[in-house]
Structure 1
């Protein structure tokens, strides 16, 4: 593997039951030693849990048991031992361990070595060497790529306690929202709807005391996160029927806290599906009477806003990826010129994926109902490839978008009786759900926590890829654009490239950054994507690349795949 300082990188170990099976599988990782030390405490081990897919999300989906949930050995939120280990592997079957490495801030560049030790009953053991190249630059804890992912207000308590308000326990409600917010930040993601309980009050007389206590650390970057200093990049107004004077109160409070640049009003989603076009301007007028600087977000196209007289009053424009470069029909060809012009007009442009990436069936009507050619679009469903889960930040960079929106992260917590076994929504497995409810009766321990998914890790990795591109962009925009466009020639190119091509391109970008850092004395210039610039580089020579290898040992063979991207297509044989 290769990673910058303050970056997260994961790989998986595949354990085979061989001819007789392996019982009592356990794993431990050593420190990684090189020019300095990456302690084992910076590595989280998980057991991969599986979702059974009987009907694929579309013709490109997988069928059978697909790995997704990541049950931690010792969870990274409260530090409790969970029931990931030991586990058994029946004869002729496979199980997987996910290894997540955080390269600490300030880690010196060079080659680091350690090992993953896997043991089982009856003398089964394997020592698997790990080699990691740490590049000579560092990623910020809060990405330059903005994200605004949903977190249904009732989802967390429904998933953990079976009731929307945690049975009236405000402390439990708030603790879950905090933990999910931290889990997002640990994966470089902002859950912009993390605020669950509406701010009380009306007529501009609002009480933010509970809000500040629960969510202030997430906004300030003082929460206890794996990425020190990580902060929410966006948060939406959350109040019942806010009027102009209420928006004014939100603006005053957020300005007093230094958070105002993160605040937006989610004015309408996919009009005319969820609101009439005629409803939008009165809502925006209330927002802007409250404070002219408050941002109004609408998920639609530039063309539709202009057709309905809403272009001037909309501040954040978010089209679905299928309308940015369609394969046929009204949106065929590259439409990004409209959004680049919107940025020149002072607007923010983000992008999103929806059920259109796998076909919405009859669940959505109108132009949002699906796409005739589903191959290769960015997608966050369980049975699509990891490349498609990771693709959106690359597409966003290529088409000039600076952030990403996603409609929900826990939708199945409230809509399904057991989201560990069923997350099928809008004809897609996992559409709107990126977590699993980590209840003690399910994962062990004594406290409730979020359980991350492999898809969430792929979203994280895509955001880190974008950070690489943004750093190279600060040095040489034309070079960065050339490299990214070569890999993702189209918005749907995730179906055409290989994992090896993506990882090689990523390493190429890292090498270009290193070369530019040597010329600049370790300084990263400011740029539109990174206005703060930075002094992240140490301009040291890069060391050798990473290899993670293994061999078949005894009756139960164990091997390691250095890249999850390359191995997700494997379909383990499970009972």
Structure 2
């Protein structure tokens, strides 16, 4: 390709006529999609306003308003707000994170928009320093479905359509705002555990060249204290693929650079109470369907004399690193039942990797797994990790799961097994930790019986059902609803694949060639969170508060406390009922629940005065 051709293509990229926006869809002429660009843009900007008349009627100048974290605000649309609101008020516990969302929009361009946060000063004279308030720009990513869509069952959606969805959170100093666009800003107020109860007030000055607006914040800090995430009871299991981080950043897997990146990458998971460390005893267990293949953390080596030996160096490094970050309650090792029963090992004699298929229950399977489990058990006990380790089996034909579980238990009844899939009564007493697909669950009574036996039970969503879910096009409140449902049903927590199974360009494009956008990851490169992840975390905090308040309420005979607890319990009973997941109903359910938690917290605090 000569220089003239390159210049022509670069020039052409400025004039590609994308003519659809968030609420307007159209087929993309692939021949006109620019392959080259003059520079890398941090997000796509092909959308156009669906209501140009509304923008033309908009008053010139900078508009700023608080919105709600339960709604998405689109780049080319004037925010759907009843009025421009310059004040935000919220209530929370010591140790809790409160989220808000502000939106800036303008009919003409704005330069150097920046947010300047003051300290929050309490009515008791205490100060909540502004270093406890985090600001993140909300970036737009590509989705293969429009907002609120009922995604086709586990389908990637039409390849010729794309939609911009606000999701990725990114720290910022300032930003420019093109004319006829909006930009949400995510505001997180982290209440220190040592903060004195009371009401705190402060401001956020929003400034741009020639413009300035003052936003007002008021935070009511209640008497109760939320424990640090490492002490939460919620079992959060988000499957990780640390190789994705190495490959995205083009660093050597398990090098010092890779490990430094992983520590930052895992922080949001630890900060949300992440429970399980995902590890792999087999190479590429999930049908080679990831952009970045999950490698083996334990090298299986057949020696020249036909014996087996095992190299745990990567496994040990990752487990230790995750524990240092604060993820230290459980380790899952995947999997005795990989895709097509395919196992890879290194043949020491030839130096080649060999692939073999060992069906669960076969003589080859039993022989290998008894040898491996004996060695693995000794290694885990030497590390002090055996009691917190689970052998993980993912959804498979029932007969395979039963056969593998029996081989494991025959080796030692002390092994713990976790399984994610549909409810099967035959598996109930074989599994120490059972995670059910939403909609294919046992009765609430069965979950209670499992708990009485010392078993744990969780549930999950994946590329189905369409609702509730954590897609980039899912209404944000569904992420919070998920944990209210877990509490109401009696579950111990929630699981999802995956934490970080990124596609080719995750910073700008959440689509996958196989599944709905956002299905395969919840956080972005750089350890950056998302609206979806923050809403999921809100629900986890609600789950913790419910447990804590129930315990506190049991220790008082106050009638007002009892009445407030009864209202909360009655509200929880509405979650296991059949839902159509109308967005307004989901928002009302979680907001009502939050209000009831606030009321019960206040009632309990009043009894201690």
Instruction: Report the CA distance between 1:189 and its aligned residue.
Output: 3.1
CA distance in 1, matches of 2:425, 2:219: 48
Q: Higher mean Cα deviation, 420-429 or 486-495?
A: 486-495
Are residues 1:265 and 2:391 paired? yes
Residues 106 and 257 of structure 1: CA distance in aligned 2, closer, same or farther (over 3 Å): farther
Are residues 1:133 and 2:220 paired? yes
Residues 471 and 48 of structure 1: CA distance in aligned 2, closer, same or farther (over 3 Å): same
Give the structure 1 partner of residue 330 of structure 2. 234
Of 11, 15, 24, the match for 2:104: 15
Residues 25 and 290 of structure 1: CA distance in aligned 2, closer, same or farther (over 3 Å): farther
Are residues 1:391 and 2:478 paired? no
CA distance in 2, matches of 1:476, 1:244: 49
Of 253, 257, 281, the match for 1:172: 257
Instruction: Report the CA distance between 1:95 and its aligned residue.
Output: 0.6
Residues 238 and 314 of structure 1: CA distance in aligned 2, closer, same or farther (over 3 Å): closer
Give the structure 2 partner of residue 458 of structure 1. 535
Give the structure 2 partner of residue 348 of structure 1. 456
Are residues 1:316 and 2:406 paired? no
Q: Higher mean Cα deviation, 194-203 or 347-356?
A: 194-203
Residues 26 and 476 of structure 1: CA distance in aligned 2, closer, same or farther (over 3 Å): same
Q: Which runs of 5+ in 2 are unaligned?
A: 1-89, 152-160, 281-294, 302-306, 336-342, 345-367, 555-564
Of 387, 405, 417, the match for 1:284: 405
Are residues 1:70 and 2:196 paired? no
- C-alpha deviations, 1:427-459, integer Å up to 9, x for none? 41111111222xxxxxxxxxxx22211111011
SS state at 2:203 partner: strand
Residues 168 and 103 of structure 1: CA distance in aligned 2, closer, same or farther (over 3 Å): closer
SS state at 1:431 partner: coil
Instruction: Report the CA distance between 1:182 and its aligned residue.
Output: 1.8
Residues 69 and 336 of structure 1: CA distance in aligned 2, closer, same or farther (over 3 Å): same
- C-alpha deviations, 1:389-445, integer Å up to 9, x for none? 22111111111111111111222x2x43455224235441111111222xxxxxxxx
Instruction: Report the CA distance between 1:481 and its aligned residue.
Output: 2.7
CA distance in 2, matches of 1:129, 1:93: 24
Instruction: Report the CA distance between 1:91 and its aligned residue.
Output: 2.3
Give the structure 1 partner of residue 83 of structure 2. none
Residues 506 and 425 of structure 1: CA distance in aligned 2, closer, same or farther (over 3 Å): farther
Give the structure 2 partner of residue 379 of structure 1. 469
Of 243, 247, 266, the match for 1:181: 266
The answer (yes or no) to whether the contact 1:322–1:356 under 8 Å persists in 2 is no
Aligned residue pairs total 447
Residues 156 and 120 of structure 1: CA distance in aligned 2, closer, same or farther (over 3 Å): same
CA distance in 2, matches of 1:177, 1:506: 34
Q: How do residues 356-505 of structure 1 correspond to structure 2 at under 5 angstroms?
A: 356-358=464-466, 377-411=467-501, 413=502, 415-424=503-512, 426-437=514-525, 449-475=526-552, 479=566, 480-486=568-574, 489-490=577-578, 493=581, 495=583, 497=585, 499=587, 501-505=589-593
- C-alpha deviations, 1:198-233, integer Å up to 9, x for none? 1456789766566555533643xx53xxxxxx4443
SS state at 1:428 partner: coil
Instruction: Report the CA distance between 1:2 and its aligned residue.
Output: 1.4
Instruction: Report the CA distance between 1:381 and its aligned residue.
Output: 0.1
The answer (yes or no) to whether the contact 1:409–1:432 under 8 Å persists in 2 is yes
Instruction: Report the CA distance between 1:347 and its aligned residue.
Output: 2.2
Q: How do residues 250-261 of structure 1 correspond to structure 2 at under 5 angstroms?
A: 250-252=376-378, 254=380, 259-261=385-387
Instruction: Report the CA distance between 1:317 and its aligned residue.
Output: 1.5
Instruction: Report the CA distance between 1:180 and its aligned residue.
Output: 2.2
CA distance in 1, matches of 2:121, 2:148: 45
CA distance in 1, matches of 2:449, 2:119: 50
Give the structure 1 partner of residue 30 of structure 2. none
Residues 498 and 288 of structure 1: CA distance in aligned 2, closer, same or farther (over 3 Å): closer
Q: How do residues 139-150 of structure 1 correspond to structure 2 at under 5 angstroms?
A: 139-141=226-228, 142=230, 143-150=232-239
CA distance in 2, matches of 1:109, 1:253: 48
Instruction: Report the CA distance between 1:54 and its aligned residue.
Output: 5.5
SS state at 2:241 partner: coil
Instruction: Report the CA distance between 1:464 and its aligned residue.
Output: 0.6
CA distance in 1, matches of 2:544, 2:590: 15
Instruction: Report the CA distance between 1:160 and its aligned residue.
Output: 2.6
CA distance in 1, matches of 2:169, 2:315: 30
Are residues 1:99 and 2:207 paired? no
CA RMSD of superposed structures (Å) = 3.1
SS state at 2:439 partner: helix
Instruction: Report the CA distance between 1:22 and its aligned residue.
Output: 1.3
Residues 289 and 48 of structure 1: CA distance in aligned 2, closer, same or farther (over 3 Å): same
Give the structure 2 partner of residue 215 of structure 1. 319
The answer (yes or no) to whether the contact 1:319–1:352 under 8 Å persists in 2 is yes
CA distance in 2, matches of 1:246, 1:516: 53
Residues 290 and 173 of structure 1: CA distance in aligned 2, closer, same or farther (over 3 Å): farther
Q: How do residues 20-59 of structure 1 correspond to structure 2 at under 5 angstroms?
A: 20-34=108-122, 35=124, 36-53=126-143, 55-56=145-146, 59=149
The answer (yes or no) to whether the contact 1:178–1:214 under 8 Å persists in 2 is no
Q: Which runs of 5+ in 1 are unaligned?
A: 73-83, 224-229, 325-333, 359-376, 438-448, 520-538, 541-575
CA distance in 2, matches of 1:30, 1:403: 37
CA distance in 2, matches of 1:394, 1:492: 16
- C-alpha deviations, 1:107-157, integer Å up to 9, x for none? 2211111111221123x1222111111111111223211011111243222
The answer (yes or no) to whether the contact 2:497–2:521 under 8 Å persists in 1 is no
The answer (yes or no) to whether the contact 1:12–1:99 under 8 Å persists in 2 is yes
Residues 501 and 321 of structure 1: CA distance in aligned 2, closer, same or farther (over 3 Å): closer
- C-alpha deviations, 1:172-195, integer Å up to 9, x for none? 333333322222112333463267
CA distance in 2, matches of 1:505, 1:158: 42
The answer (yes or no) to whether the contact 2:471–2:516 under 8 Å persists in 1 is yes
